[in-house]
Structure 1
Amino acid sequence: MKVIKRDGRIQEFDIGKIQVTLENVSDEISKPLTASDIKKLLTSIEKAVYSRNQEEIRSSEIFEIVIEKLEKAGFHDIAAAYKKGKD
C-alpha cells in the first residue's frame, strides 16, 4: 500500500514508522507502552489501514486511525500527545 504524504510525496506504508513514533511519544510523556501494548496497537492499526482495500491512503487518514486506536485502547494521554506532535 502506498501512503500519500502531506507534501504530495508517495511512500510505501511502513508500520515500523508508527511504532517508533508511538514509542517516542509515550516515552516523552513518561508513560511508556509495553511491548505487548505496542504489538496490539500496531496489529489493530495495520488491520484498519489494510481493511480499506485501497491502493493508496493519505497520511492524514493513518493519523486518524492511530488516534482512534489509542483512544479505544485507553491510551488517552498518548493520543493527546500524538495529536499535539502533529501540530
Structure 2
Amino acid sequence: MPYAMRHAPSGTLLAVVQRNGYKLAYYGLVLWEQRPEEAHMAEALAEAAIEPGDAAGRLSDWEAMELTEHEAKMANVKLRNDPRRVVYYRNGILAATDA
C-alpha cells in the first residue's frame, strides 16, 4: 500500500506537480511504496516549495500515512489535476476543497 505525507495539524495530504512516464505534467499526491525516510519527506516539502518558515514548513508536523490503493486514487481524482485544490484526510474521511 502506498504512503503519503499528511500534515498532522490540518490533515492536508502533500501534492505537487509531477511528471508521468510520458513526461507529461500532472498534479497529484506524493506517494511512496514504502514508508519514506525523513530525508525523502524533506525533499518532498522542498519540491512543493514549502519553506521551513511557512505555516506548514516544519517537518515535524508531517507524518507518513499509509493509504489504500483506492484512497490514493480517489485523492488524485479529487485533486482534478488542479494545483488550486487541496485534499485532506480527517477523521477517516478523504475530501478536497479549493485552496
> TM-score range with shorter-chain normalisation?
0.3 to 0.5
Scaled by the length of structure 1, the TM-score of the pair is: 0.33
- Structure with the largest fraction of strand: 2
Higher helix share: 1
TM-score by length of 2: 0.30
